[in-house]
Amino acid sequence: MTGKRIVSIGECMIEMSGGEDRSYRLGYAGDTLNTAWYLRALLGKDWDVDYVTALGKDRYSDDIRGFLRENHIGTDHIGTIPERRPGLYMIHQDKGDRHFTYWRDQSAAKLLADDKSALQKAVEGASLVYFSGITLAILAPKARGRLLGAIVKARDSGAKIAFDTNLRPALWSSPRVMASVLTAAASLCDIVLPTHTDEAPLFGDKSAEETAERYLELGVEEVVVKDGAKEAYIATASEHVRIAPKPAEKVVDATGAGDSFNGGYLSARLSGKSIREAAEEAHRVAGVVIGHKGALVEPKFLR
């Protein structure tokens, strides 16, 4: 895989992360943004990483744009919906357990695919387009169609398409719709990065191998099956490997671990590494991330 521009599509939210003392720290995160962050941190300056979403015209929307630019993530294709705001979620800590509460009904990102021409322009010339099941879940059905149409055009123009199914049942109208949309989206992709424990209840997969085989049968070239702290299973038509993570030195916060794994894996593949080497790098990056608080770890800790 070679190329110089990555486009990640999804929702950036305001994150309020709470401690045991009930104080909160403001930050920004979202599954596809987290992966874009790690791609940006791990790849050289000869790569451009752009984020595609929609924000409002409020102070926090402006702060998000500024935050992305300061960290060298492109904002040229972020739409503006004046009457909308960024979504927000709070992380509550209770004796080491994390609980999430979301406010996203009026999230501007739910309208990120309303402008078909802007969406197609955003992915034009991309080497890699990355999106997730959450990206699809927050969109209305017609908007999902516009997004997938833009992805097909990007792939036809030579882009690789990577997709984390990232199942969030609460965001879907029914399990049947969720399974149908995710399967249709995966069939358009070159690389799919599912999590076995999430997929098994929906699709009936009894093992990581079954999860991988299901996507390979759709025509996906490369399936990277994550399973939390357990080994990853990577499959192509001709190669199958299992890579276990090294024991973590410490676990502070698992927020964004899977997203950082994806960033580590994709950055390695874009740098010409084998699937085995890419999985090892993915585990390394995720191991660093869980040793820090928050979804976005400073790049200096990743090198």
Catalytic residues, which ones? 259
- How would you class 157 by CB atoms within 10 Å of its CB: exposed for 0-12, middle for 13-18, buried for 19 or more? exposed
> Please, what sign has the CA dihedral across residues 111, 112, 113, 114?
positive
- Half-sphere exposure (CA, 13 Å, Cβ side) for 86? 25
Q: Can you tell me which residue has the tokens 């387009």?
A: 129
**Phi, psi (deg, nearest 5) at residue 71:** -105, 20
- Alpha-helical (H) ranges within the chain are 31-42, 59-70, 116-123, 133-137, 141-156, 175-186, 196-203, 208-216, 257-270, 275-289
Q: How many helices (H) and strands (E) are present in the chain, helices listed first?
A: 10, 14
- CB count in 10 Å sphere of residue 43: 19
Angstrom distance (rounded) from CA 265 to CA 271: 10
3-state secondary structure 164-210: ECCCCHHHCCCHHHHHHHHHHHHCCCCEECCEHHHHHHHHCCCCHHH
∠ Cα 34 36 42 (to 5°)? 105
Strand order in 88-94's β-sheet?
Answer: 24-29, 13-18, 88-94, 97-103
